[in-house]
A and B are shown apart, each in its own frame.
Chain A
Amino acid sequence: MVKEECKALLDALNKVTACYRHMVLTIGGTSDSQNLREELKKTRQKAQELAVANRNKLTTVLKDKTVSKEDKAEFERLWVIFSTCLEILEIDMRRALELGHEFPLNVPKKHLIQTGMSGGTSGVAARAMSVQNMKYEAEHNIDVVDLKDLENEINQVGEMMYEMEMKVNVPQWTVEAKQDPGAELKSTISVGASSIGMISVEENKSFCDISKVLAGIIFAAVLIIAIVLAVCVVKLS
Chain B
Amino acid sequence: MERMIVSMQDPDMGIKMRNQRLLITVIPHAMTGNDIVEWLIQKYGISEEESLHLGNLIVKHGYIYPLKDPRSLVLRADESPYRFQTPYFWTSTKWPATELDYAIYLAKKNIRKQGDLVEHEKDNYNLLHKRINHTWDFVVMQAREQLRAAKQRRKGDRIVIDCQEQAYWLVNRPPPGALNVLEQGPERRNCHTTQVQLTQNMDYYKREIEYCRKAMARTRVKSSICLEGYIKFSEQYMPHDPIMSGCLPSNPWITDDTTYWAMNAPTVPTPTKLRVERWGFNFRELLTDPLGRAQFLDSLKKEFSAENLSFWEACEELRYGEQSRIPEIVDSIYQQFLAPGATRWVNIDSNTMGRTLEGIKTPHRYVMDDAQMHIYMLMKKDSYPRFLKSELYKNLLAEAVIPPETKKRVFPFMRKQRHSSPSPALFLSAGDAEERSRGPMAAPVPEEES
Q: B148 to A199, Cβ gap below 8 A? A: no
CB-CB under 8 A for A124 and B152, given A25-B86, A98-B195: yes
**Which one of B5-13, B215-223, B333-341, B366-374 is at the A interface?**
B5-13
Residues of A within 8 A of B87 (CB): 27-29, 99, 102-103, 113
Pick from A31, A81, A113, A173: contact of B84, CB under 8 Å: A113
* Nearest A residue (CB) for B115: A185
Q: A28 to B194, Cβ gap below 8 A? A: no
Q: B86 to A77, Cβ gap below 8 A? A: no
Q: A113 to B86, Cβ gap below 8 A? A: yes
Q: B111 to A185, Cβ gap below 8 A? A: yes
Interface: B296 (CB within 8 A): no
A98 to B155, CA, bound (A): 28
A126 to B152, CA, bound (A): 9
Q: B157 to A181, Cβ gap below 8 A? A: no
**Distance (whole angstroms) from the CB of A113 to the closest CB of chain B:** 5
Q: Which of B164, B194, B196, B198 has the most CB of A within 10 A?
A: B196
**Distance (whole angstroms) from the CB of A199 to the closest CB of chain B:** 6
CB-CB under 8 A for A114 and B84, given A21-B146, A84-B135, A184-B143: yes
Residues of B within 8 A of A132 (CB): none
Pick from B7, B150, B196: contact of A101, CB under 8 Å: B196
A87 to B100, CA, bound (A): 10
**Which one of A54-62, A135-143, A186-194, A228-236 is at the B interface?**
A186-194
CB-CB under 8 A for A88 and B141, given A115-B29, A116-B29: no
Q: B134 to A179, Cβ gap below 8 A? A: no
Q: B114 to A185, Cβ gap below 8 A? A: yes
**Residues 108-125 of chain B, each 1 if its beta carbon lies under 8 Å from chain A, else 0:** 001111110000000001
**Residues 61-93 of chain B, each 1 if its beta carbon lies under 8 Å from chain A, else 0:** 000000110000000000000011111110000
CB-CB under 8 A for A184 and B107, given A28-B86, A81-B138, A155-B199: yes
Interface: A53 (CB within 8 A): no
Q: B17 to A124, Cβ gap below 8 A? A: no
Q: B125 to A181, Cβ gap below 8 A? A: yes
Q: B151 to A192, Cβ gap below 8 A? A: yes
Residues of B within 8 A of A115 (CB): 29, 83-86, 160, 164
Interface: B401 (CB within 8 A): no
Q: A179 to B142, Cβ gap below 8 A? A: no
Residues of B within 8 A of A119 (CB): 153-154, 156-157
Interface: A206 (CB within 8 A): yes
Pick from A101, A114, A192: contact of B147, CB under 8 Å: A192
**Distance (whole angstroms) from the CB of A154 to the closest CB of chain B:** 7
> How many residues does chain A have at the interface if contact means C-beta atoms less than 8 Å apart?
79
Residues of A within 8 A of B441 (CB): none
Q: A151 to B137, Cβ gap below 8 A? A: no
Q: B100 to A203, Cβ gap below 8 A? A: no
Q: A111 to B10, Cβ gap below 8 A? A: yes
Q: A196 to B115, Cβ gap below 8 A? A: no
Q: B137 to A81, Cβ gap below 8 A? A: yes
A119 to B67, CA, bound (A): 20
**Distance (whole angstroms) from the CB of B128 to the closest CB of chain A:** 9
* Nearest A residue (CB) for B160: A116
Q: A19 to B149, Cβ gap below 8 A? A: yes
CB-CB under 8 A for A199 and B159, given A116-B29, A177-B134: yes
Interface: A222 (CB within 8 A): no
Interface: A15 (CB within 8 A): yes
Residues of B within 8 A of A116 (CB): 20, 27-30, 83-84, 156, 160
Residues of B within 8 A of A101 (CB): 195-196
Residues of A within 8 A of B110 (CB): 182, 184-185
* Nearest B residue (CB) for A147: B196
Interface: B22 (CB within 8 A): yes
A88 to B141, CA, bound (A): 13
Interface: B144 (CB within 8 A): yes
Residues of B within 8 A of A172 (CB): 134-135
Pick from B140, B162, B198: contact of A183, CB under 8 Å: B140
Interface: B133 (CB within 8 A): yes
**Distance (whole angstroms) from the CB of B91 to the closest CB of chain A:** 13
A10 to B63, CA, bound (A): 35
CB-CB under 8 A for A124 and B153, given A22-B146, A115-B86: yes
Q: A196 to B28, Cβ gap below 8 A? A: no
Interface: A47 (CB within 8 A): no
**Residues 11-33 of chain B, each 1 if its beta carbon lies under 8 Å from chain A, else 0:** 00000010011110001111000
Q: Which of A95, A116, A189, A210 has the most CB of B within 10 A?
A: A116
* 10 residue pairs, one from A and one from B, having the closest CB atoms: A123-B152, A177-B136, A28-B87, A18-B145, A119-B154, A114-B29, A116-B29, A81-B138, A175-B134, A18-B146
Return 21 A-B CB contacts under 8 Å, by A number. A17-B145, A22-B150, A26-B88, A27-B87, A77-B137, A91-B98, A99-B87, A111-B9, A111-B10, A117-B156, A117-B157, A117-B161, A124-B153, A127-B149, A154-B198, A177-B135, A178-B137, A189-B147, A192-B148, A193-B111, A196-B162
Question: Could you list 4 further interchain pairs (A-B, Cβ under 8 angstroms) beyond the known A177-B135, A202-B22, A205-B23?
Answer: A91-B95, A113-B85, A116-B27, A184-B144
